[in-house]
Amino acid sequence: MTLERQKLAAEAIETAATMLKCIGHPVRLQIIELLDREGEQNVTAIYEALRIEQAVASQHLNLMRDKGILASRRDGVNVYYRIDDPRVTRVIDCIHHCEL
Amino acid sequence: MTLERQKLAAEAIETAATMLKCIGHPVRLQIIELLDREGEQNVTAIYEALRIEQAVASQHLNLMRDKGILASRRDGVNVYYRIDDPRVTRVIDCIHHCEL
DNA sequence: CCTGGATATAGATATATTGCTATGTTATAA
DNA sequence: TTATAACATAGCAATATATCTATATCCAGG
pTM over 0.85: yes
- Which protein residue lies nearest to nucleotide C18, measured between its Cα and the C1' atom? B56
pLDDT of residue B10: 80
A91/B94 touch (CB, cutoff 8 Å), yes or no: yes
B39-61: per-residue pLDDT in tens? 999 999 999 999 999 999 999 99
Whether B17 and chain A come into contact, CB under 8 Å, resolves to yes
Q: Which of B12, B18, B96 sits opposite A6 (nearest CB)?
A: B96
Per-residue CA distances from A34 to A29, A30, A48, A94, A98 (Å)? 9, 6, 12, 16, 19
> pLDDT band at B2, cuts 50/70/90?
very low
User: CA A46 from chain center: how many Å?
Assistant: 13
